[in-house]
Structure 1
Amino acid sequence: MCDFAPLKNDLFIRAAFCEKVERTPVWAMRQAGRYLKEFQEVRAKHDFFTVCRTPELACEVTLQPLRRMELDAAIIFSDILVIPQALGMEVQMVPGKGPVFPKPLANPEDLKTLNQTPDVDKELGYVFDAIKLTRQKLDGKVPLIGFSGAPWTLMAYMVDGGSSATFSKARSWLFRSPNESKALLDMLTDTTIKYLVNQVRAGAQALQVFESHAGILGSSTFAKFSLPYLAKIATQVKKQLSDLGIQRVPLIIFAKGAHYAIEELSATDYDVISLDWTMDVKRAREICAKKSKALQGNLDPAMLYAGVDEICSATKKMVEDFGVTGHIANLGHGMYPDLDPEHLKAFVNSVHSASEEIINSA
């Protein structure tokens, strides 16, 4: 690991471990992205995966939102689908359509075509280089978050070949070919563990796992084809980091739509359970408090289409609902491309003022 500047703002880290904070820390999923004019200028010159694979460009777009607003964490600019690429699959980012796999996994026999034990340093070294450079450029201002897609979510894209409302092709595998599905999920899990550990070795100070398509699985299917792999990732990443002498790297799980699995997720080794905007905050607090787990979330991203006064009012209520201790403020999903950056800034500032008001009145 490199020598980096000491962390000046550790609110995010302390909140993740349910420690005392002076105010609620705040960041936003997809805070580096298309809603920013300066990001659009970079993308006008470079395609999406070129930005991901060029450390200087990935660093630049990671830092862009921090120049506009007082965020308490940065998240490295990358994509969850770099892992399928490392396994040998082609992924294209098509304007107006999103990710497309020209040759998705058509049947379980296609698993033989994958690079099942990729050299993560070789295949994904550009991510680690971007993390290292970004940590240097941050100069200790805020923590840097690394991330990965979760095995089920990655499998869903790899089989369906792109975004889908139902991911029916991938879900059919779970029932028609459960053993082959588990083999693929095991492969993705092992690669994800190596990937996340190496992100920390490169300089990431926290990690988030995105199970973006948990909501299309029922509770029993989630328990069989998602939860065990999520749990293994958290346990093994923590163990391997501990073996390296690395401490205080919080792990966040964001299982979108998994309202039915809050209790099960709180029993894993993740430190923070991230909630989407549809989830019951009171119920999640009651469950996660028993396990000393922090919560993250969960303002509806669409609320940022409202006026500034409405945003401030909704944000204040969100902060009050969560309470200050053990809460990282965020949206319930990522920023939408046509949102006004000034409305995200209003959200950020409202988190600051509302949480400080609660603490000062206590």
Structure 2
Amino acid sequence: MKLLTLLALSLPISESFSLMTPLSIRTDTTIKVPAPPVLDVPEVPEDHDILLRAARGEDVRRTPLWMMRQAGRYMKAFREYSDVIPFRTRSETPSVAIELSLQCVKRYGLDGCIMFSDILTPLTAIGVDWDVVKGKGPQVTTDLSTREGVDALSELGNIDEKLPFLRETLEGLRKITDGKTTLLGFVGSPWTLSAYCVEKGGTKDCRAFKRMMYEEPELAKELIDKMAVMAGNYAAHQVDCGAQVIQVFESWAHHMSPKDFEEFAKPAAKKTIEIIKNKCPDTPVIFFANGGSAYLELQRDMGGDMVCVDWQVDMAVAREILGKNIPISGNVDPGVLFGTEQQVREAVRECVKKAGGPGAMHVMNLGHGVRQGTPEIAVEWLVDESKRLTK
């Protein structure tokens, strides 16, 4: 394993760490990370919470911007860590997670900073073994396809004891971002988390979980309900640790028909959001169904504050379906960032216009995550054009 050479400075948290994870990835190399960056105050100081206010549906002077997977391998600075440090070590070591969360915010001046983590992170706290394997993605080893497996799931319990790195990461990020940008937390939606567990990782057709849904629907719903309670409480804990906005990711919505979504996924997602809103009534909640634009009409009453839409629906159509009174997020095609500067800027202008104009209950985002290989300069064009468009 290569040594990551970085400037070692004094840190208030987690000064250094050995490359060790619970999955027997070991080395004697100690890696030190630089002190967290100092973020600049926005050029217009009142923009420091523009994303938070927009997510609440308030009137703002321009459309704020953040990007799903904004902390990712498209950035050279990020790859200096991801090439040598296993995923869970990165995401569960506060000093590293803070550094990776902030790299893109510092570079591009984004209106939101989202914690570097994974939707599977809280599964550890309820007794599910998982890891992210290089070249394969998330892999779950606990069997939740049976009655015995579902019954064996534990309560979330004391998150500070089970996942102590979470508070340290979010509190550290909040200190740095306070008065500079909005801090986002996130959770996976119950259906997606359940599907990941039953499929034991990535899947092309979600065959195992769909078989469970149709052969043992009550067992599937029981599993999904347990995930709903866990996800809601985990998100509320993130708010307690400093998160100002929560996004709920239905990452595998593209595997569902409208009927599947309405019967299995939607009730549980609404339960998760209800738990968050009951515990954190002032915290905006964004719901994102990746691949769910075919049934946007079913997402109007999720109980959150904003609906994020993917890139497979025209923004004007999405706005018409959801209505003018529902704040919306999205939905520039991530592939556009491989285009020319003119194409990127035009995509931003078109998206903002179709959403209702600058600041019109809209948060600019991509319609999915930033893709590997995306030119960093293209993200600069995206951010610059978004900030240029004001009322």
Taking structure 2 as the reference length, the TM-score comes to: 0.84
1:8 and 1:122, CA in 2 relative to 1: closer, same or farther beyond 3 A? farther
Aligned pair in 2 of structure 1 residues 164, 17: CA closer, same or farther (>3 Å)?
same
Which of 348, 354, 360 is the equivalent residue of 1:321?
354
Q: 2:83 is paired with a residue of what secondary structure? A: helix
The size of the alignment, in residue pairs, is 346
Alignment deviations for residues 287-317 of structure 1 (CA, whole Å, 9 cap, x no partner): 3335x21100001111111122211122211
Structure 2 distance, partners of 1:309, 1:282, is 21
Deviations along 1:3-27, one digit per CA (max 9) or x if unpaired, are xx99861211222123221111011
Q: Does 1:90 align with 2:129?
A: yes
- In the aligned structure 2, how far is the partner of 1:7 from the partner of 1:196? 27
Tell me, which stretches of 5 or more residues in structure 2 are unaligned?
A: 1-40
2:228 pairs with 1:193: no
Give the 3-state SS of the residue equivalent to 1:62 in structure 2.
helix
Q: Which deviations, in whole Å up to 9, do the C-alpha atoms of 1:146-184 show, x marking residues without a partner?
A: 000001101111011111121110111111111111111
Name which of 345, 350, 354 aligns with 2:380. 345
Deviations 1:244-300 (A, max 9, x none): xxx2x210000112224323322122111000000232232123335x211000011
Cα deviation, 1:177-225, whole Å, max 9, x if unaligned, reads 1111111111111111111111111100000000011121111111111
Equivalent residue, structure 2, for 1:330: 365
Q: Name which of 303, 306, 311 aligns with 2:336.
A: 303
Contact 1:15 1:327 in 2 (8 A): yes
**Fraction of identical pairs, as percent:** 34
Q: How does 1:37-186 map to 2 (within 5 A)?
A: 37-186=76-225
For 1:338 and 1:32, how far apart are their aligned partners in 2? 13
Relative CO higher for 1 or 2, CA cutoff 8 Å, sep ≥ 6?
Answer: 1
2:20 alignment partner in structure 1: none
The change in CA–CA distance for 1:113 and 1:219 in structure 2 (over 3 A counts) is: same
State how 1:275-294 maps to structure 2 within 5 Å.
275-289=309-323, 292-294=325-327
Gap regions ≥5 residues in structure 1: none
Query: Contact (CA 8 Å) 1:78, 1:127: kept in 2 or not?
Result: no
Q: Is the 8 A contact 2:160 2:166 kept in 1?
A: no
Q: Which residue number in structure 1 is paired with residue 51 of structure 2?
A: 12
Greater mean deviation of Cα atoms: 200-209 or 175-184: 175-184
1:334 CA drift (Å): 0.4
Residue by residue over 1:112-158, the C-alpha shift from the partner in whole angstroms, topping out at 9 and shown as x without a partner, is 33224443332233122211111112232101000000011011110
Q: Is the 8 A contact 2:229 2:275 kept in 1?
A: no
Instruction: Give the letter for the 2:328 counterpart.
Output: L
**Do 2:63 and 2:387's aligned partners in 1 also have CA atoms closer than 8 Å?**
yes
- Normalised TM-score (structure 1): 0.91
Q: Secondary structure at the match of 1:195?
A: helix
RMSD of aligned Cα (Å): 1.8
Q: Give yes or no for the alignment of 1:32 onto 2:71.
A: yes
d(CA) in 1 for partners of 2:274, 2:132: 32
1:233 equivalent in alignment to 2:243: no
Q: Pick closer, same or farther for the CA change 1:236–1:105 going to 2, 3 Å.
A: closer
Q: Does 1:312 align with 2:345?
A: yes
